[in-house]
């Protein structure tokens, strides 16, 4: 499946991954700049902050309380903010577009 990362400078980076991992893992495996995943995906660093565009938001489960607490602390939070480590990629998300915040350039 494809995941399109839109970097903070507008560059689009399309990566190919197997379903079952997370957005954060997809970025790290493909060396997408701006996604650090410092906590390893346990929802405690927010270095995987990203924006999931509107059509895709509707196909995702909403964030749980731990993710919402972390999002409260990020710079450039928006209504479509998510933590990439908390979004599992399923085949129904093939082609998902994810933007990175300006603070993660």
Binding interface with ligand FES (CB under 6 A): 24, 37-39, 41, 43-48, 70, 83, 85
- In the complex, the smallest distance separating the C-beta of residue 51 from ligand FES, rounded to whole angstroms, is 14
Q: For 38, phi and psi rounded to 5 degrees? A: -60, -30
**Residue 28 and residue 22: Cα distance in Å, rounded?**
10
CB closer to ligand FES out of 34 and 41: 41
Residue nearest to ligand FES (CB): 85
Which DSSP symbol is given to 60? S
The answer to whether 50 and 35 have CB atoms below 8 angstroms apart is yes
Least separation in angstroms between residue 4's CB and ligand FES is 19
Give whichever of 10 and 56 is closer to ligand FES, judged by the CB atom: 56
Provide the minimum distance between the beta carbon of 12 and ligand FES in the complex, in angstroms, as a whole number.
22
The gap between the terminal CA atoms of the chain, to the nearest Å, is: 25
């Amino acid at each position: 499946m494809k995941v399109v990362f839109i970097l903070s400078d507008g560059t689009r980076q399309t990566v190919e991954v197997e379903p079952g991992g997370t957005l954060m893992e997809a970025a790290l495996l493909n060396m997408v700049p701006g996604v650090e995943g410092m906590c390893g995906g346990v929802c405690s660093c927010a270095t995987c902050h990203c924006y999931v565009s509107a059509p895709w938001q509707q196909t995702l489960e909403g964030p749980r309380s731990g993710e919402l607490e972390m999002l409260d602390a990020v710079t450039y939070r928006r209504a479509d903010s998510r933590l990439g480590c908390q979004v599992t990629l399923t085949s129904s998300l093939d082609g998902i577009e994810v933007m990175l915040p300006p603070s993660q350039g």
